[in-house]
Structure 1
């Protein structure tokens, strides 16, 4: 039997919305005029009309005895269905209302507006209001689950915020990213979450015009309903969850079977775009309103051959590998932390060859065939043992050689600031500007870029069909790279934050077969190392500036700062069988090489965790031993040296041995090491977004991790002063190099003598300590005096006064002689 269409003009042409009462006896429509209409279900009588003073009503939600309406003027009003009159104004907002929803018990009304906060108002006492303020952009839709304990808030930034309302204080439970798409508040496209009747999952339209379900247990994507060619504008589960109805902007209406995600019927007689849609609680009727002021009630909506699906008991949500659903139509997702983000190993390739049932080498060899009698057999090509035959022993296992072909260990490439996959998400970039993270949606990814300074930059979110696996972020823009696939080659994609032209971003493909191994972004250039051994350098507007083949290959990683580029690759093999890492630093604008194929200073057995430039433009590395190092004199060819700034294993917080934590390097800025603390054996940060921590530099001059209880205060102070001297001398050397080799500013030039004074002040304190110890320490005290940088004689004069104060007359005479010789230029700078 064909579905009978009962069209009713409800309001003037324009967006029209409706809501059934839970018992299905009435439905309320609102639209652009100053009247509401209350229809009796399937009644031919004229609806009751409620005249109101407001117009442009954009949302309605009904209970059995009242309904709530949201208007463009920001008011949310409550009306009685018993008297068809106004009860009260529940709440007012300063901007238009976009959606309202009432909890199943009728006690709370959630209000979405163009304001950033969501108000949840008590329908019996308007003074009781909960404010949900985690959203960064206006909210499009709100939806209570069937228990009323959870509220799903669909935001225009493409994020679904799930709140728990089970207590007096609301709590954000989850941010579901990558489910809905970015949209404007006025868009006809829907972002409303539809909770499945069994409560274990919900669904919503996604950016690919599909209706995607998400499990409530782990918030991961589950089954999807794919068939629409344009944006979905409305959706509704049947009361028992066995069917799903969806409508799209191309005026198509589809009814699906939930269990198999198959299309049961597609209706092509829809004349206008459907905006709201609901199943009747008991009858085979689907009602909807459109953007032309009309209400439709489709009787006998589900065809006769499928009508039995409406009469069965409550059906389970369409979840992957759900024993309740007994669904095998869709394959499960890849195992978390699977092949993505990991280098392929020899064992992995053997697993692919032998199959999933193959035993490991240790398991296969637990029976030893010592006498060759065939107690153990060799696995066949499928990784399984053949059955024993009746007429003879098992075939002998092939002999294994104890020796194998030796191969060097090569450092694998990595992208600084990027984390491996955990589940279906990972960070592509973490630094002081912000962070970039991606969510795997199987057919595509969704990428979110968030900034710490939201006054300077706005967060953004987009659907990623290329599945970018690398990213860089700074104050100028965001750089992405993806691997090649059957549809496209490897691609570099740059998106600036600000532009004064229409074109805001650019993409450049790499030649076929060439992949990006690492990349970096500075204020003036883009650098990418590739599997072909090339270093490709572009301007921020996509102009190729330079291209050359890297000497040390395979490439490992790279970093850049302004016009300086640092590349790192595998070099010669060391005595331990591991390749040495070599680095090169060059100025690509001037074509000058500062350091060429120099060895990166790593201890034996250690690896490189990250590489970056400090905020002042000095190269820094962080190794797997937890040591942060900075490069000194790197602008002078052949003079570079790596100086440790901090050994994180010597931090006081680890001295007790009770804390099990490591540190994920982020940046060196403001004379501090910025990092993320990882606890409980974690190897990389994960969600929710971790907090940044910072530690002061402390060069490991002496063992300060745990001071000996027998050490007196003077010894502890001496160690501290010695570390301060080395650290202040390092700072002076870095700034002096900067001033000498660049067009330094007046502030940078003034910083050099200021740092010299800091070095000398520390030396004066060390000198005082030596004088305090006695005359026998006089030679060391004089040595300390010779280390002073000041050439004016002021600091040496102060040193002489210190010697006189402690009555070290001989030391004072020698310091005076040293000062006189310096004034006449008789003391060489290198004299000790």
Structure 2
């Protein structure tokens, strides 16, 4: 240390701890003796002593008006800073207290002791106590996040337990078992969780003598501060704005770090004793710490002059590998103040994870209401009413994935953001670029210098996995049986690049790259068996051959473009169209055949519910366009090869799956593909919005059309010609009606495909099977109606007329069903249908 910095013998030699008041005016220390010392900031006078206290105080936390201490005898006391006297004993533990933490508003104190339970006591009413019991061993440290919503408990079993205190009943939201190591309560090494001031991440010392940062949004490890200590870390403190970090270790070193680069600014290696606790002054360049020798050090001008500008900055972001805020906006949140003269940071929820919920969604898209300050009257902030609230016509904007444009305060439409089907946002340093039935592509960020891309296949006998170093930082990918397609956004060094790598080739050259014109950024890419499609931010749709030959370039009528897909010679693009009644753009789609230069559907409307968003698009294995929206509905496009005839039909509503009927499961589904007359997806548990590593398993669900309010039970014997009479008629009828409608739809899809191609024998067989299955469902429905009585005769006859097979076999079976239930009149009408003699006047009886 500098020669002018000397330790003050605050307490008896031994473990000593400190805390600044949030306004920085006072510094309080506790130690082994039965005295508490209160220092005035900026004063060289002797501190005030509080002698009416417990011996061996082991923890302290302060607010502006009072402070709380914990002692070795298990007592937690509250002291007044106005009178410097004991107010009350808040709670007693049966064993030693190890740590205390005050919530930002000062209303609650969390107590960690050698008991198995963590107690959270109200500082105004000691009878109000919350008990946290999920940890199996005692807790060494406790910490509140800047909002006071979350509490972390560093357990001696090496696990961090994260609790939500937003409701009356505390909820364990996460057990982080790969951050800290197991430590006994009395050791000097620290496992304390220290929240970054912006509230989006926390960090803790690890067993490898590093300080590891972790995002509490997705629980992924972010940047780490390493190679600073040769001994265990014993204390950590962020600067008030989060731009700097200080760590101390058992190696008797005090290290000052730059948060953004994780580089050491300065190392103080002449520390006399092991530092146990340290704290930054809230507003000035003063740093204080206590050690295990009863001493207090107050270090003015702690940050060197060449780095003082970092300490004076506004609130800085946590050191993410991929910071969601920097990816969605170039604007930096300004630090808010409490309106006092000292300009202290206001302890509100405005810069906490809860406030980010309305800014960032799971897809990385943003709505920046309340995020940009209109300090230059530039019209960035929307008009408010007299109460400072948004106008009624702008309510619930955060529910939609639309980007809002603002110019000079004039209302602007909301456009749907672009996305790449099958890709996920960054979580930590990795993300999926593509997920489908062929395989998956994922990338890992290597400190932003380059990425490593891995392509893995499900069928490793057909294709070999491969891995490569990616200096271009590819952010989109497509994968099929023939090759892999990648694209990257432009940078300051190079334009956007399209890269295609075939799996097999009979020539020497195996891959190719092409650059997009300056200023163009790919918004989505697609790969088929014969074409490559790229949509860009300029509204262009660029179509290439598989060998990189540009075939077509046109500007989409619906712009800005949202996404695209391709199958064989067909290209499907989606873009923002005219405004809807809710002030948001409607989505328009176009499907064209590139080889024939023929437009199948031109700028038709994509039918999404008012509050829904488009989650993914893809062609089925049979070549039919499918979409999946945020309401959990899978739809397929029927008659899309005929201009003006296309319409969207639901194949499955995942929210009505029988597995969710009990209401006990909380899960959603990540769409992957439609193949083999099944919906293939990844099940997301709880509140997850995207799949993550390790690679999740695929699940498939049979199609089930939403044709009835009654939930159809699982089929037990679809091959039976006559329904089991012991089943509930209503549910059995619902099942058969859905079965008939489903096979009619599948039959129509296959018929459309065969009308434009030469049908194979296998396709003809499948088409006939679909027709037969639809008729079998009708035959079983006929049995239910015939059993109900003569009054159901009209519907029974109608069912017969819907049968597609008029060759005689199905109609003959229908006649036998009517005779079985004694419906002779109905049996006669069925014979007339078979003979072609039933006239319209005879259909009513």
TM-score w.r.t. the length of structure 1 is 0.55
Distance change (3 Å), C-alpha of 1:398 and 1:787: closer
Counterparts of 1:182-331 in structure 2 under 5 Å? 199-200=208-209, 222=224
Does the alignment pair 1:808 with 2:829?
A: no
Cα separation, 1, equivalents of 2:648 and 2:793: 33
Does the alignment pair 1:554 with 2:560?
A: yes
Task: Report what 2:807 is aligned to.
Answer: 792
Deviations for 1:164-211, whole angstroms, at most 9, x for unmatched residues? xx9xxxxxxxxxxxxxxxxxxxxxxxxxxxxx9974469xxxxxxxxx
Deviations for 1:459-501, whole angstroms, at most 9, x for unmatched residues? 2222211111111111111111111011100111111111222
Does the alignment pair 1:632 with 2:638?
A: yes
Cα separation, 2, equivalents of 1:430 and 1:333: 30
The answer to whether the 8 A contact 1:433-1:452 is kept is: yes
Task: Report what 2:25 is aligned to.
Answer: none
Cα separation, 1, equivalents of 2:796 and 2:386: 74
Cα separation, 1, equivalents of 2:677 and 2:303: 57
- Indicate the SS of the match to 1:796: helix
Measured after TM superposition, the shift of residue 352 of structure 1 is: 7.3
Measured after TM superposition, the shift of residue 535 of structure 1 is: 0.6
Cα separation, 1, equivalents of 2:321 and 2:728: 53
Measured after TM superposition, the shift of residue 751 of structure 1 is: 2.2
Task: Report what 2:16 is aligned to.
Answer: none
Cα separation, 2, equivalents of 1:646 and 1:380: 46
Measured after TM superposition, the shift of residue 406 of structure 1 is: 2.4
Cα separation, 2, equivalents of 1:338 and 1:822: 75
Measured after TM superposition, the shift of residue 240 of structure 1 is: 8.6
- Indicate the SS of the match to 2:805: coil
Does the alignment pair 1:421 with 2:426?
A: yes
Measured after TM superposition, the shift of residue 353 of structure 1 is: 11
Distance change (3 Å), C-alpha of 1:674 and 1:773: same
Distance change (3 Å), C-alpha of 1:313 and 1:553: same
Does the alignment pair 1:407 with 2:422?
A: no
Does the alignment pair 1:339 with 2:324?
A: yes
Distance change (3 Å), C-alpha of 1:241 and 1:763: closer
Task: Report what 1:723 is aligned to.
Answer: 738
- Indicate the SS of the match to 1:753: helix
Deviations for 1:495-542, whole angstroms, at most 9, x for unmatched residues? 111122221111111000011000111111111111111111111111
Match of 1:526 among 529, 532, 550: 532
Cα separation, 1, equivalents of 2:389 and 2:209: 55
The answer to whether the 8 A contact 1:241-1:314 is kept is: no
Task: Report what 2:550 is aligned to.
Answer: 544
Distance change (3 Å), C-alpha of 1:704 and 1:433: farther
Task: Report what 1:32 is aligned to.
Answer: none
Measured after TM superposition, the shift of residue 630 of structure 1 is: 0.7
Measured after TM superposition, the shift of residue 456 of structure 1 is: 1.5
Distance change (3 Å), C-alpha of 1:569 and 1:402: closer
- Indicate the SS of the match to 1:428: strand
- Indicate the SS of the match to 1:737: helix
Does the alignment pair 1:351 with 2:333?
A: yes
Measured after TM superposition, the shift of residue 223 of structure 1 is: 6.7
Cα separation, 1, equivalents of 2:303 and 2:676: 56
Counterparts of 1:49-128 in structure 2 under 5 Å? none
Does the alignment pair 1:565 with 2:556?
A: no
Does the alignment pair 1:643 with 2:649?
A: yes
Distance change (3 Å), C-alpha of 1:681 and 1:551: same
Cα separation, 1, equivalents of 2:232 and 2:606: 61
Match of 1:748 among 754, 763, 788: 763
Measured after TM superposition, the shift of residue 260 of structure 1 is: 11
Measured after TM superposition, the shift of residue 379 of structure 1 is: 8.6
Deviations for 1:545-589, whole angstroms, at most 9, x for unmatched residues? 111111111100011111111111111111111211111111111
The answer to whether the 8 A contact 2:626-2:634 is kept is: yes
- Indicate the SS of the match to 1:351: coil
- Indicate the SS of the match to 1:569: strand
- Indicate the SS of the match to 2:833: helix
The answer to whether the 8 A contact 2:525-2:535 is kept is: yes
Cα separation, 2, equivalents of 1:620 and 1:505: 30
TM-score w.r.t. the length of structure 2 is 0.54
Match of 1:433 among 423, 435, 438: 438
Match of 2:687 among 681, 684, 687: 681
Task: Report what 1:765 is aligned to.
Answer: 780
Cα separation, 2, equivalents of 1:492 and 1:241: 48
- Indicate the SS of the match to 2:416: coil
Measured after TM superposition, the shift of residue 343 of structure 1 is: 4.4
- Indicate the SS of the match to 1:559: strand
- Indicate the SS of the match to 1:636: coil
Q: Compute the RMSD of aligned alpha carbons.
A: 4.6
- Indicate the SS of the match to 1:413: coil
Measured after TM superposition, the shift of residue 805 of structure 1 is: 1.7
Q: Unaligned stretches of 5+ in structure 2?
A: 1-157, 159-177, 183-204, 212-218, 234-252, 258-267, 276-288, 291-301, 311-315, 338-342, 352-371, 378-384, 392-408, 714-725
Match of 1:736 among 751, 755, 761: 751
- Indicate the SS of the match to 1:595: strand
Task: Report what 1:53 is aligned to.
Answer: none
Q: Size of the alignment, in residue pairs?
A: 515
The answer to whether the 8 A contact 2:484-2:502 is kept is: yes
Cα separation, 2, equivalents of 1:341 and 1:622: 29
Counterparts of 1:436-515 in structure 2 under 5 Å? 436-441=441-446, 442-515=448-521
Larger mean CA deviation between 797-806 and 623-632 belongs to: 797-806
Distance change (3 Å), C-alpha of 1:258 and 1:788: farther
Distance change (3 Å), C-alpha of 1:338 and 1:221: closer
Cα separation, 2, equivalents of 1:754 and 1:539: 37
Distance change (3 Å), C-alpha of 1:630 and 1:509: same
Runs (4+) of structure 1 moved beyond 6 Å?
Answer: 237-242, 257-261, 312-315, 326-333, 352-364, 397-403
- Indicate the SS of the match to 1:410: strand
Q: Unaligned stretches of 5+ in structure 1?
A: 1-148, 150-161, 167-195, 203-216, 226-236, 243-256, 262-307, 316-322, 365-377, 384-396
The answer to whether the 8 A contact 2:535-2:564 is kept is: yes
Does the alignment pair 1:662 with 2:668?
A: yes
Distance change (3 Å), C-alpha of 1:480 and 1:380: closer
Distance change (3 Å), C-alpha of 1:400 and 1:680: closer
Deviations for 1:145-179, whole angstroms, at most 9, x for unmatched residues? xxxx9xxxxxxxxxxxx9xxx9xxxxxxxxxxxxx
The answer to whether the 8 A contact 1:197-1:240 is kept is: no
The answer to whether the 8 A contact 1:645-1:699 is kept is: yes
Measured after TM superposition, the shift of residue 450 of structure 1 is: 1.3
Measured after TM superposition, the shift of residue 445 of structure 1 is: 1.5
- Indicate the SS of the match to 2:830: helix
Deviations for 1:397-439, whole angstroms, at most 9, x for unmatched residues? 9998976632222111000001111122111111111111111
Cα separation, 2, equivalents of 1:490 and 1:749: 46
Distance change (3 Å), C-alpha of 1:401 and 1:416: closer
Deviations for 1:696-716, whole angstroms, at most 9, x for unmatched residues? 111011124598xxx971111
The answer to whether the 8 A contact 2:617-2:627 is kept is: yes
Deviations for 1:199-237, whole angstroms, at most 9, x for unmatched residues? 4469xxxxxxxxxxxxxx977664799xxxxxxxxxxx9
Does the alignment pair 1:602 with 2:617?
A: no
Distance change (3 Å), C-alpha of 1:539 and 1:443: same
Measured after TM superposition, the shift of residue 770 of structure 1 is: 0.7
Measured after TM superposition, the shift of residue 730 of structure 1 is: 0.6
- Indicate the SS of the match to 1:763: helix
- Indicate the SS of the match to 2:440: strand
